[in-house]
A = this chain, B = another copy of it.
Amino acid sequence: MADNKFWSDIVTKLDPYVPGEQPKLANLVKLNTNENPYGPSPTVAAAITAELGDSLRLYPDPNADVLKQAIARSLDVDVSQVFLGNGSDEVLAHIFQGLLKHEEPILFPDITYSFYPVYCGLYQVDFLPVPLSKDPSIDKDLSINIADYQQPNGGIIFPNPNAPTGKLLSLADIESLLRMNTESVVVVDEAYIDFGGESAVELVGRFPNLLVTQTFSKSRSLAGLRVGFAVGDAGLIDALERVKNSFNSYPLDRLAIVGAVAAIEDIDYFEKTCEQVITSRESLAAELQSLGFSVLPSKANFVFAKHPDHDAARLSAGLRKEGIIVRHFNHARIDQYLRITVGLPDQNQQLIASLSRLLD
C-alpha cells in the first residue's frame, strides 16, 4: 500500500518485524517458531476455567499483583523488581523506549533476535550491530565476545542463549560485562534460559543496571496466552511502569494472569518438560551430526545446523513439501543454516527421516 498523507512521519520509515509463519494447515510438523512441544501444565486450564463467567465483565487488576507475586516468589526477588507485559515482545518494546534511548547507540549482536532493530526504528534509537565471532570451529563460530562490547554505548541487549544460534554466554561472562559497563543498562533476554542455561536473575541485586527478561511462551508452554516479564532493580522497573501506564493500563487479561500463575507454580511439570526437551535436543543434534550436519552447541529449545554439501534454502523447501516447517533466514553469514525447533520425539524422527531422504 502507498504512503498516505494522514500517516505520522515515523510510519513511512518503519520496516516491521515478520514473525515466523503460523500456517493454518492441519497435520504439519511445525518446527519453525520455537514453541514447546509439550502443552502447558494441566493446572493452567483448571485455573482459567475457574475464572470464566461473570468476572470477565470486570477489568483485570492493572498491576496483575497476583502474578507479580508468584514470579517474585519463584525467582526469589522483590515484587518491586518485577515488570509484566503482554508477551516479552511488549516488555522489550517498553525497554527500548524507556531505558535504551540515549545519546550513544545501543549495542547488540549482528546476528540476533530480529525484532531489536525494528524497535530501534519505532523509537528512533541509534544502534550499532556487533559482529559475532568468525571461527572455523563450529564450537567457536558465531559467539558473543563480551570484549567487543567494551565501547561507549547507550545500552546493551542480547538474548542468552542467543537466537537463532542457541549459544549460551556463561554467568561469569555476564558478570564481567556488567562490571565493565556500569553507565548504561544491560538487558539479558532470557527467552530460552530454562533449557540448560543459568539465569542472570541472581545478579540483579548487585547490578542496578541489569535487566533480565523472560517469557511464558517457551519453557512454560503458553505462547498462546502472551505473558512476559522483566526482573531488575526497582529503579529500572519504575521506568517501565511509567511507560506502560502511559500506553495501556491493563495489558494482561484476567485469563492470562491466572493461567500464568498456575504455570509458574507447577514446578514439577516445568522441570520435567524442560528436561524432556533438553534430552530430545541432544538426540536431535547427534542425529543431525550423523547425517553430516554441523550443529552449533545449543542451550535453547532449537538447534542451528548447516550441511557442508546441501543448500539450506533447498533443504527447507524440500522439508516443507513433506509437511515439515523449519526456519531459514535469508541473511548473510547464516543463510546456510536451518533453525529447527525441538519437537516431540516422533516429530524429530520424522524430520531426521525426511532429511535423510533429501540428502540422498
Interface stretch among A142-150, A250-258, A278-286? A250-258
Which residues, 218 to 259 on A, are CB-close (under 8 Å) to B? 221-226, 234-236, 238-239, 241-243, 245-256, 259
The stretch of A34-42, A161-169, A189-197 that contacts the partner chain: A34-42
A85 to chain B, nearest CB (A): 8
A62 touches B101 (CB 8 A): no
Contact of A254 among B16, B99, B224 (CB under 8 A): B224
Q: Are B97 and A8 in contact (CB under 8 A)?
A: yes
Instruction: Compute how far the CA of A99 lies from the CA of B5 in the bound complex, rounded to whole angstroms.
Output: 9
Residues of chain B lying within 8 A (CB to CB) of residue A44: 52, 56
Q: Is the CB of A8 within 8 A of B39?
A: no
Chain B CB within 8 A of A86 CB = yes
Q: Which residues of B contact A11 (CB under 8 A)?
A: 98-99, 239, 242-243
Asked, given contacts A14-B242, A209-B6, whether A248 binds B87 with beta carbons under 8 Å apart, the answer is: yes
B8 near A59 with CB under 8 A, answer no
Q: Indicate how many identical chains form the complex.
A: 2
A214 interfacial by beta-carbon distance below 8 Å: no
User: A124 → chain B, closest Cβ, in Å?
Assistant: 11
A22, CB-defined interface residue at 8 Å: yes
User: Which residue of B10, B217, B259 is within 8 Å of A97 (Cβ)?
Assistant: B10
A335 to B53, CA, bound (A): 36
Q: Interface residue tally of chain A, by bracket?
A: 35 or more
Pair B119/A239 contact, Cβ less than 8 Å: no
Which residues of the other chain, B, contact A6 by a CB distance below 8 angstroms?
A: 99, 184-185, 208-209, 235-236, 239
A226, B60: Cβ atoms closer than 8 Å:
yes
Q: Please, how many angstroms separate the alpha-carbon atoms of A14 and B183 in the complex?
A: 23
Q: Which of A18, A246, A251 counts the most B-chain CB atoms under 10 A from its CB?
A: A246
Which chain B residue shows the least CB distance to A51?
Answer: B224
B contact residues around A57 at 8 Å (CB)? 35-40, 221-224
Residue in B58, B222, B224, B236 whose CB lies within 8 Å of A223: B58
Q: With A and B bound together, what is the CA distance between A296 and B200 in angstroms?
A: 56
**Does chain B have a CB within 8 A of A9?**
yes
**Smallest CB-CB separation from A240: which chain B residue?**
B11
A16-B241, A86-B251 known, 16 other contacts, Cβ within 8 Å = A1-B234, A6-B185, A6-B208, A6-B236, A7-B98, A8-B98, A14-B243, A17-B245, A19-B249, A35-B58, A39-B56, A39-B57, A89-B248, A93-B247, A224-B253, A225-B253
Which residues from chain A sit less than 8 Å from chain B, CB to CB? 1-2, 4-11, 14-19, 22, 24, 30, 33, 35-40, 44-45, 48-49, 51-62, 86-87, 89-90, 93, 97-102, 115, 118-119, 121-122, 183-185, 208-209, 217, 221-226, 234-236, 238-239, 241-243, 245-256, 259
Sorted nearest first, the 8 A-B pairs with minimum C-beta distance are A16-B245, A224-B254, A8-B101, A39-B54, A56-B224, A4-B235, A122-B246, A45-B52
